[in-house]
Every structure is written in C-alpha cells, then in structure tokens.
Amino acid sequence: MRRIWKLAGIASVVAAAAGLTGAPAAQQSGSPPSNAPPAATATTPQPPPAPPAASAAPAPPAPSAPPSLPFSDGKVADGATKAAVCAACHGPNGNSVNPEWPRLAGQSAAYVAEQLRLFRSGVRDNPTMKPLAATLKDQDIDDLAVYYEAQTPTGLEADPSYWQAGEAVYLSGDRAREVPACVACHGPVGRGNLAAGYPALRAQQSVYVVKQLNDYASGARYAGANAPAGDPNAMMMLTIAKRLTPEEMRDVASYVQGMR
C-alpha cells in the first residue's frame, strides 16, 4: 500500500507539472487552457483599405435640342400658297419692287424663319410685320422660309458711282477703325452663311440695306433693352454699323445690290 501511494503521488506530481491534471481532452493534446490569451496567428499583411472612390461628377445636362431647321418640315408648294399675302410688299417670288422692302428671293431659309419668329414675338420691332407674323404658326413659317430660299433673286444694278468703294468695304473692311470685312460673314458672292445664320445680301435693295444699317446703329431694329439676345448675330451688327460712315453705308449697299 505504501508503494502504491508513492507511485500515485509521483504520478500526481508529474501530471501537475505537465499541466494535464483535470484538463479537457482538447487541452491534453496541447491546446492552451481556455483562460489563456489566444495565440497569435500568422496572417498575410493586408494593405490598408482603399479610400472610397470619389463619386463621379454628375454629367452636365444634355443641351436642349435646337429648333429644327425649316428644311426638315417646310414644304415649298405650301409656302407658295401662303406667300400670296407677302407678295404685296415683297413682290412676286420674293423680288420686291418697292426699294423700302427687302428682297426675300434666295434668302437662307434658316434666316427667314428666324426673322419671322422675331417679328412674331415683337423682338424685332416693325409695325407692319408684327401683326402679320403674329398670325403665323410654326409650320407656316417653315413653309414660307423654304419657299423663299428656293426662289431666284433678280436684283438690280449697282450704282456705278459707289460700287467700287463699296466693294473695298465689303472685301477688306477698315482695320484702322475696326470695321471687319463683310465677306467674312456674308460670303464672297453675298450668299451668307447657313451654318452661322448670317443672311444672304446679294441683290438686296440698296435703300433697304442702308435703312437696316442705320437701324442697327441707332438700336431701332430691335425692341427692348435686352432684345439683341433674341438674335445671336445682332450684337455684332450693332457694333459694326456704328463704325460705318453714312458714305460707307451707301457704298456697300450699292455694291451688294449688284451682286449675283
């Protein structure tokens, strides 16, 4: 019995020294005691989390579609019928006889449509045209615009006393007074610029051209302080016309009257 006790005592001491007395089975296999801090586990270093991607700036709103050009909607045949009223001032096929009224034959459809809308809104101030344009629907304007563009301007002859001086202004301008050449916008033969909305001037009545240049210079062509905003090209002509002398207006008007 004494020997058995000793053996048992030795076993207890060995077990206590090994930390196995009363340990759960899992711990007996070498796991740390439950109250010990967990062993550090080897992990692969991870890069710091990337900052959240900056939200893309909102796309600017798409520009509103510009009004369709009259070419897509206008009908020449319908415009011919509707132009019967216009012929009283603008002449048959848009070739006015009265020098006070513009010739519309061969004029850019985009320009005719724009001016009719300006008359209709009252931005372009004309006591004769405003009440007439007020009755026009958009389709009427498109039909009239394409009709007049399809006509051939007959024009008049340039005054031989003035056309050469007018040609110099038209083709070269006057750099010393910051008068740009008319050809830059209205073209070498006065057909205008469709993409930019600049009107054709060829065969236009010289009396009418002089009046419009004076109206630009005085501000009488448009109504209201902010009226030029209604016509993108108005501000340019308001500036240029003020720099022209009366003689230059007369000369360049005579020159364009003889252009074909």
Q: Is residue 36 packed enough to be buried (19+ CB in 10 Å), middle (13-18) or exposed (0-12)?
A: exposed
Compute the residue count for the chain: 260
- Identify whether residues 74 and 135 lie together within a single domain: yes
58 within domain boundaries: no
Neighbours of 88 (CB within 10 A): 10
**AA identity, residue 7:** L
How many domains is the chain partitioned into structurally? Answer: 2
Q: What is the CATH number of the domain that holds 188?
A: 1.10.760.10
**Which residues, in sequence order, are bridge partners of residue 124?**
222
What is the chain's alpha carbon radius of gyration, rounded to the nearest angstrom? 44
**Which residues, in sequence order, are bridge partners of residue 222?**
124
- Identify whether residues 129 and 202 lie together within a single domain: no
pLDDT in tens, the chain (260 residues): 334 333 334 334 333 333 333 333 333 334 444 444 444 444 445 555 554 444 444 444 443 344 445 667 899 999 999 999 999 999 999 999 999 999 999 999 999 999 999 999 888 888 999 999 999 999 999 999 999 999 999 978 999 999 999 999 999 999 999 999 999 999 999 999 887 889 999 999 999 999 999 999 998 888 776 666 667 777 889 899 999 999 999 999 999 999 98
CA 70 from chain centre, in angstroms, equals 17
53's CB contacts (< 8 A; 6+ apart) are none
- Identify whether residues 136 and 163 lie together within a single domain: no
29 within domain boundaries: no
The last residue of one of the domains, among 120, 154, 188, is: 154
pTM (2 d.p.): 0.71
